[in-house]
Structure 1
Amino acid sequence: MNCRLTDLRHKEVISSCDGARIGFVDDVIVDTKLACIVSFVIFGRSGFFGIFGRCEDYIIPWDKIELIGTDTIIISCKTPNPVKRRKKPHFFEKNRNN
Structure 2
Amino acid sequence: MLKISDIQSKDIVSLSDGRLLGHISDIDINLETGRVEAVILGGGRMMNLFGKEDEIIIPWKNIVKIGSDVILVRYQGSGQLQASTDEKEEN
TM-score (norm 1): 0.70
Kept in 2, the 8 Å contact 1:15–1:74? The answer is yes
- Kindly tell me: are residues 14 and 47 of structure 1, through their superposed partners in 2, closer, same or farther at Cα, counting changes over 3 Å? closer
Deviation at 1:8, TM superposition (A): 1.0
Deviation at 1:55, TM superposition (A): 3.4
AA aligned to 1:63 is K
Stretches of structure 2 that go unaligned for 5 or more consecutive residues are 82-91
Kept in 2, the 8 Å contact 1:20–1:79? The answer is no
Task: Say yes or no: does 1:16 pair with 2:15.
Answer: yes
Relative to its length, the structure with more strand (as a share) is: 2
Distance, in Å, in 2 between the alignment partners of 1:5 and 1:47 is: 23
User: What residue in structure 2 maps to residue 77 of structure 1?
Assistant: 75
Secondary structure (helix, strand or coil) at the match of 2:52 reads coil
Secondary structure (helix, strand or coil) at the match of 2:21 reads strand
- Kindly tell me: are residues 46 and 74 of structure 1, through their superposed partners in 2, closer, same or farther at Cα, counting changes over 3 Å? closer
Secondary structure (helix, strand or coil) at the match of 1:53 reads coil
AA aligned to 1:16 is L
Number of matched residues? 79
Aligned pairs for 1:1-98 within 5 A: 2-45=1-44, 53-79=51-77, 81-82=80-81
TM-score (norm 2): 0.75
RMSD: 2.3
Deviates more, 1:72-81 or 1:4-13: 72-81
Relative to its length, the structure with more helix (as a share) is: 2
State the structure with more CA Rg: 1
Stretches of structure 1 that go unaligned for 5 or more consecutive residues are 83-98
